[in-house]
Amino acid sequence: MAIEMRQQMKLTQQLVMTPQLQQAIKLLQLSRLELQDLVRQEMEENPVLEETLELEEPKEQDQLEQSEKEETPSGEDNKEFQEVKAGEETLRETDWDSYLEGYNFSAGEQYYDDEDRPSYENVLTRKGTLGDHLMWQLSLTRFSDVETAVGAEIIGNIDEDGYFRATVEEIARSQGVDEALVETCLKKVQEFDPMGVGARDLRECLLIQVEQLGMGGSVVEGILRHHLHDLEARKYKQIAKALGVDINDVLMGARIIAGFDPKPGRVYGSEDVHYISADIFVYKIGEDYVVVLNDEGLPNLRISPYYAGEAKASGQVDAKAEEYINDKVRSAMWLIKSIHQRQRTIYKVAKSISKFQRDFLDKGIEYLRPLVLRDVAEDIGMHESTISRVTTNKYMQTPQGLFEMKYFFNSGISTGEGDFIASESVKNKIKEIVEAEDPRKPYSDQRIADLLSAHSINIARRTVTKYREMLRIGSSSERKRHF
């Protein structure tokens, strides 16, 4: 067969992801705090963008309503909007020209008073670390210069949990001293606060706490030195026989050990607390539920009047400058439109979820309805992937508490009455059964399945095991308490 070249015409459809479309899709899956950071970054990089002052909000709102009216075809509800689709035309020159028409370019003076200054409560100092706390104690210890240097090296090798992660040999080699001196300094550091700091393993950490509490030679020390693994396996009778003591003494010792801190450095951990901020608030007014977007912290963006005037003054500025300004104006316009569309999309999805989960909002988790992405997608006329992006990292504050929007989407389990119950409701029921059980005689997974069956929830024992592990609930042997 001869190899030859030939031309052929073919008509195909291809999905083209423009940068503007990629940005719009990216905005959908950002959380509100991430969106704030992105907007602040765009305001720093794009000189055309600026935040609207509160006094000018009514004008901006009128401008937004006017812009939405122009975009909505005649005869359609202004509240409805279309999902961004591949191949949609980007903003034309006339789009932002008309957008600039409504601005009054007269700039007034702005005044700021003391109320605009940050309060003293917002001025935070650096949180003290475990290393700082240990170094402060080292400075108060009667050490020689050599011992102080060794002690500082030891503290520098203590991790956030409070454990010494180097070896005595390594410290001695790096400081050029004897290993006996390093061992002496390490013992001194292990006397520092918090109790148990500077240990090389869990056993040593707990033994240090026993020593500082004056419990040396007790049953507690015997358990830790020789029967720690038996304690983990709850072999209390075997420990009592090996130590030659009564089993009640072993149980009391186990209770004391349970009160020790296996990670003493956690008190000074530098890990920041991450707070969840609701994107949607759902309120019940009368017999209806009202969905409200949380716009707190999101600046109202607009095109800077100064640059807008430069953009309109065609021919009066340098060609490159004019091209740069026009490009930034188009970018800013697309960002503003994308944010507005993102907010409206979140609103529609939250409204649909509230409609499907009306019983949950009224009565609680037990009445959570099985729901999939397709149900909401068909309800609001969007694609399932769009719903998935919208519900990512978004939270709803409901009368039943704060929940991630993905929480409302879960599979259904058939009941004995021919209905379906949400898997999250089954998990909540398992949690309630475990909390109500006798800790001395915990239920087995089969027993939990039988109790669920009494409530017309027919699931297998292995399903109970799977849900129990997802809830991080231990097995019956792990939940059993002897004291």
pLDDT digits (tens, 9 = 90+) for 346-372: 999 999 999 999 999 999 888 888 899
For residues 292 and 295, what is the distance between their CA atoms, to the nearest angstrom?
A: 9
Closest by CA position to 195, among listed 266, 269, 252 = 266
- Do residues 39 and 336 lie in contact, with contact meaning Cβ atoms separated by under 8 Å? no
Q: How far apart are the first and last CA of the chain?
A: 86
CATH code of 412-479, in short, is: 1.10.10.60
Whether this prediction's pTM lies above 0.75 is answered by: no
What pLDDT tens digit does each residue of the chain (483 aa) get? Answer: 567 888 888 888 876 667 767 777 888 888 888 888 888 888 888 888 888 765 444 444 454 445 444 444 444 444 444 444 444 444 454 454 554 454 444 444 444 455 555 555 555 556 678 999 999 999 999 999 999 999 999 999 999 999 999 999 999 999 999 999 999 999 999 999 999 999 999 999 999 999 999 998 899 999 999 999 988 888 889 999 999 999 999 999 999 999 999 999 988 875 566 677 889 999 999 889 999 998 887 778 888 877 766 655 555 567 888 788 888 888 888 888 888 988 999 999 999 999 999 999 999 888 888 899 999 999 999 999 889 988 988 999 999 999 999 999 987 776 655 567 788 888 888 998 999 998 888 999 999 989 988 888 888 889 899 989 888 898 888 888 766
Closest by CA position to 35, among listed 282, 296, 401 = 296
Q: Where are the domains of the chain?
A: 130-215+254-268, 280-408, 412-479
Helix (H) or strand (E) holding 213: none
pLDDT at 192: 95
Tell me the residue ranges of DSSP E strands in 199-355: 280-285, 288-293, 301-303
pLDDT digits (tens, 9 = 90+) for 442-462: 999 999 989 988 888 888 889
